[in-house]
Amino acid sequence: MSTLSTKNATVNQWLDEMKALVQPDHIVWIDGSEAQLDALRAEAVSTGEMTKLNEEKLPGCYLHRTLPNDVARVENRTFICSREEKDAGPTNNWMAPEKAYKMLYDIARGSYHGRTMYIIPFSMGPIGSPLAKIGIEVTDSIYVVLNMAIMTRVGAKVLEALGDSNDWVRGLHCKVDVNEENRYICQFPEDNTIISVNSAYGGNVLLGKKCFALRIASYQGRNEGWMAEHMLILGIENPQGEVKYIAAAFPSACGKTNLAMLIPPEHFKKQGYKVWCVGDDIAWMRKGPDGRLWAINPENGFFGVAPGTNEKSNPNALASTRKNTIFTNVALNNDDNTVWWEGLDKNPPENATDWKGNPWNGKTSDVKGAHPNSRFTAPAKNCPCISPEFESLNGVPISAIVFGGRRAKTAPLVYQSKDWTNGVFVGSIMASETTAAAAGAVGVVRRDPMAMLPFCGYHMGDYFKHWLDMGEELGDKAPKIFNVNWFRLDEEGHFIWPGFGDNLRVLLWILARCEGKADAVETPIGYVPHPADIDTTGLDLDPQVLASILEVDPEIWKKEADGIEEFYAKFGDRLPEALRGELDKLKASLAK
Ligand code: OXD
Ligand code: MN
């Protein structure tokens, strides 16, 4: 099937160990050729692992269903296996490496009997980019191979780029029997190793994504002087054709993919504004030769949440899924062999199969057709607004870093931090309030520093320190740091800000600030726009209402400061002094 091989001794030695451990019947190297991927698609269809969808309406698209016990990332079964427990820090689960290896090897041993071992050489980032890194994932799942072939660059060229280097990440995935009691997602940052067992769901098994590009890479970045962040990257082109780039971090379910692909409101489109998507989930950033911070998207596709994606909320994401896409856990329309999910349109199919594989009538059923975390895996190049710089080896220069969360009252629509150190403080206190949609109490504040809580591969106090060090390194070329909150609520609990494409209005103020072209009001938390400086042309928003969502209420922030104090206590003496200093300054200015 494939004649790929390598002379890299470190790769061959590890593969020999893995073969002896999992004992496959067959071994297949993934060379990245269409012919090989096509044969694998056909095989997956013949075994029922995937369903081929309507070739006319959804060319090259497939549907896959996971087991109902295996539909999301499992944070409580995700471990950072650093040698010292204190290096994983208070926000990660930890397991001693010897114990973890023994346990995982016992689970993995012989688990490929009767199965094929697929060896996937993959690159995170454009092959040959100075910001890219290489991994090899071994898996017994064709679904994983086909998803990795969309989400990363795979195949022969990756091995060529690796040469005989030992700088590559080892990833072992074993489906075993998908038993949730024995499911583990373990990262060994000091060994560049990931082992994932007993799952076959995306975020747990596409090892290039959260496991490598965030957990392992954040650790590598700290040691090597760069940053791996849970951030989208977008470019905003002004009517003069100049493009400025923003990287933004939001916790899950805050509309990151929507922001990354936003469509400018009519008023801006007419003037010639354009928005370009570089990435929707992960940014790797490094100081470039010109002293600025440059970013690449290490991924090659989007692993997006399907429900809620529609012609209005995100036409670009929807367009990205119309060909060569793998859908996971959505509903199947049996009349025309296409897919459907909640929020796609107001016309659910009557003759359908739900995500669990049961007959489903969308008009009468009271259960959901698609799982709320159902996904599309779509090639980035399908996206109508994919940036012309997407493949650029050097990445794009970042002008602004934006943090955000879902807060009903606390954070204003937008504010700018006072400087880099204050900006790191702003990122470290990021939080979202639980909504009625999530299980559990409403309005509970969940802190999620830089949206990295489940993804930082080492002690979060040291991670904050790394951010502070990067600021020193970048000096006056550092991007400016902002915070946004699209989710302010009125007294009746309605969103005040329209969000979606209108968020561009806020991003333009941000860029104007970066260029020294907009004024601001100083508040205890940072700089807030004058309402008149947010261009609301074409928007039905009362100027007083806009002013109200730019307000900073000192009483709310005093309570917030107490919450921060409590959160910071977790980090003990690994919380950088500078951040404690920022909290003290905030308290002092609120007391004035
Ligand atoms: C994701 C997440 O799947 O952040 O991207 O949960
Ligand atoms: Mn994410």
Residue 507's identity, in one-letter code, is L
C-alpha of residue 268 to centroid of ligand 1, in Å: 30
Distances (CA, A) of 2 to 36, 218, 382: 8, 34, 27
Ligand 1 atom 3, closest CA: 203
Is residue 234 located within the same domain as residue 220? no
Mean pLDDT, range 169-191, rounded to an integer = 98
Mean pLDDT, range 272-277, rounded to an integer = 98
Note the pLDDT of residue 2: 74
C-alpha of residue 121 to centroid of ligand 2, in Å: 23
Q: Is the CB of 281 under 6 A from ligand 1?
A: yes
Mean pLDDT, range 174-199, rounded to an integer = 98
Beta-bridged to residue 328, according to DSSP, are 64, 375
Note the pLDDT of residue 592: 84
**What DSSP assignment string belongs to 165-219?**
---EEEEEEE-TT--GGG-EEEEEGGGTEEEEES--SHHHH-TIIIIIIIIIHHH
Identify the domain boundary among 362, 381, 400. Answer: 381
- Evaluate whether residue 354 is within a structural domain: yes
- Evaluate whether residue 62 is within a structural domain: no
- Which of 185, 206, 210, when mutated, tests ligand 1's pocket best, judged by the most ligand atoms within 8 Å of its CB? 210
CB 15 within 8 A of CB 22: no
Q: What is the CATH number of the domain that holds 397?
A: 3.90.228.20
Is residue 368 located within the same domain as residue 503? no
The ligand whose atoms approach the alpha carbon of 454 most closely is 1
CB 215 within 8 A of CB 455: yes
C-alpha of residue 302 to centroid of ligand 2, in Å: 10
Average pLDDT for the chain: 96
C-alpha of residue 142 to centroid of ligand 2, in Å: 23
* 281 CA closest ligand 1 atom index: 5
Note the pLDDT of residue 434: 75
CB 526 within 8 A of CB 578: no
Instruction: Name the domain count of the chain.
Output: 3
Q: Strand (E) positions, 11-160?
A: 26-29, 51-52, 62-64, 78-80, 93-94, 116-124, 133-139, 153-154
* 203 CA closest ligand 1 atom index: 3
Q: Which two tokens stand for residue 20?
A: 């002896």
C-alpha of residue 304 to centroid of ligand 2, in Å: 9
Instruction: Round to whole Å and give the CA distance between 518 and 505.
Output: 13
Note the pLDDT of residue 436: 56
Is residue 283 located within the same domain as residue 432? yes
Is residue 176 located within the same domain as residue 103? yes
Q: What is the CATH number of the domain that holds 143?
A: 3.40.449.10
C-alpha of residue 350 to centroid of ligand 1, in Å: 31
Instruction: Round to whole Å and give the CA distance between 138 and 122.
Output: 11
The ligand whose atoms approach the alpha carbon of 203 most closely is 1
Q: Strand (E) positions, 189-318?
A: 193-197, 227-229, 231-237, 243-249, 274-279, 283-287, 293-296, 301-305
C-alpha of residue 26 to centroid of ligand 2, in Å: 34
Is residue 202 located within the same domain as residue 251? no
Distances (CA, A) of 12 to 8, 15, 17, 18, 159: 6, 5, 9, 10, 12
- Evaluate whether residue 46 is within a structural domain: no
Q: For residue 120, how many other CB atoms are within 10 A of its CB?
A: 26
Ligand 1 atom 1, closest CA: 252
* 252 CA closest ligand 1 atom index: 4
- Enumerate the active-site residues: 254
Q: Is the CB of 203 under 6 A from ligand 1?
A: yes
Q: Is the CB of 229 under 6 A from ligand 1?
A: no
Alpha helices in 79-153 (DSSP H): 85-88, 97-108, 142-151
pLDDT at 84 > cutoff 90: yes
Distances (CA, A) of 139 to 18, 39, 129: 10, 17, 26
Is residue 330 located within the same domain as residue 455? no
Identify the domain boundary among 341, 363, 381. Answer: 381
**What DSSP assignment string belongs to 101-121?**
HHHHHHHHTTTTTTSEEEEEE
Is residue 154 located within the same domain as residue 185? yes
Q: What is the CATH number of the domain that holds 309?
A: 2.170.8.10
Ligand 1 atom 2, closest CA: 252
Instruction: Name the one residue in this structure whose structure tokens are 């399907």.
Output: 306
- Which of 252, 297, 299, when mutated, tests ligand 1's pocket best, judged by the most ligand atoms within 8 Å of its CB? 252
Domain residues for 572? 229-297+390-591
Q: Is the CB of 280 under 6 A from ligand 1?
A: no
The widest CA-to-CA distance across the chain, in whole angstroms, is 72
- Evaluate whether residue 505 is within a structural domain: yes
Q: Is the CB of 252 under 6 A from ligand 1?
A: yes
Q: Show the 3-state SS of 368-432.
A: CCCCCCCEEEEEHHHCCCECCCCCCCCCEEEEEEEEECCCCCCCCCEEECCCHHHHHHHHHCCEE
- Evaluate whether residue 182 is within a structural domain: yes
Distances (CA, A) of 56 to 52, 53, 127: 11, 9, 33
Q: Which two tokens stand for residue 457?
A: 């591969």
pLDDT bracket for residue 1 (50, 70, 90): low
For 518, half-sphere exposure in the C-beta direction (CA atoms, 13 angstrom radius) is 23
Is residue 323 located within the same domain as residue 175? no
List CB contacts of 289: < 8 A, sequence separation 6 or more. Answer: none
Is residue 274 located within the same domain as residue 310? no
C-alpha of residue 282 to centroid of ligand 1, in Å: 10
Note the pLDDT of residue 579: 98
3-state secondary structure of 273: coil
Note the pLDDT of residue 438: 46
Note the pLDDT of residue 440: 55
* Residues 404-426 pLDDT 10s: 999 999 999 999 999 999 999 99
Instruction: Round to whole Å and give the CA distance between 140 and 115.
Output: 7
Identify the domain boundary among 181, 204, 224. Answer: 224
- Evaluate whether residue 582 is within a structural domain: yes
* 230 CA closest ligand 1 atom index: 4
Coarse DSSP helix, strand, coil percentages of the chain, rounded to the nearest 5 percent: 35, 25, 45
* Residues 95-135 pLDDT 10s: 999 999 999 999 999 999 999 999 999 999 999 999 999 99
Ligand 1 atom 6, closest CA: 252
Is residue 443 located within the same domain as residue 365? no
pLDDT at 245 > cutoff 90: yes
Note the pLDDT of residue 444: 86
DSSP 533: G
Is residue 499 located within the same domain as residue 361? no
Q: For residue 534, how many other CB atoms are within 10 A of its CB?
A: 20
Q: For residue 441, how many other CB atoms are within 10 A of its CB?
A: 8
* Residues 283-305 pLDDT 10s: 999 999 999 999 999 999 999 99
3-state secondary structure of 41: helix
* 375 CA closest ligand 1 atom index: 3
Q: Which two tokens stand for residue 126?
A: 């454009």
Mean pLDDT, range 437-462, rounded to an integer = 86
**What DSSP assignment string belongs to 2-14?**
-------HHHHHH
C-alpha of residue 252 to centroid of ligand 1, in Å: 6
Instruction: Name the one residue in this structure whose structure tokens are 């020294």.
Output: 516
* 455 CA closest ligand 1 atom index: 4
Is residue 581 located within the same domain as residue 507? yes
- Evaluate whether residue 356 is within a structural domain: yes
- Nearest one of 54, 49, 55 to 115, comparing CA atoms: 49
Between 252 and 289, the more confident residue is 289
* Residues 472-531 pLDDT 10s: 999 999 999 999 999 999 989 899 999 999 999 999 999 999 999 999 999 999 999 999
Burial class (CB in 10 A: 0-12, 13-18, 19+), 429: buried
* Residues 302-327 pLDDT 10s: 999 999 999 999 999 999 999 999 99
List CB contacts of 542: < 8 A, sequence separation 6 or more. Answer: none
For 393, half-sphere exposure in the C-beta direction (CA atoms, 13 angstrom radius) is 4
Ligand 1 atom 5, closest CA: 281
- Evaluate whether residue 59 is within a structural domain: no
Mean pLDDT, range 358-370, rounded to an integer = 97
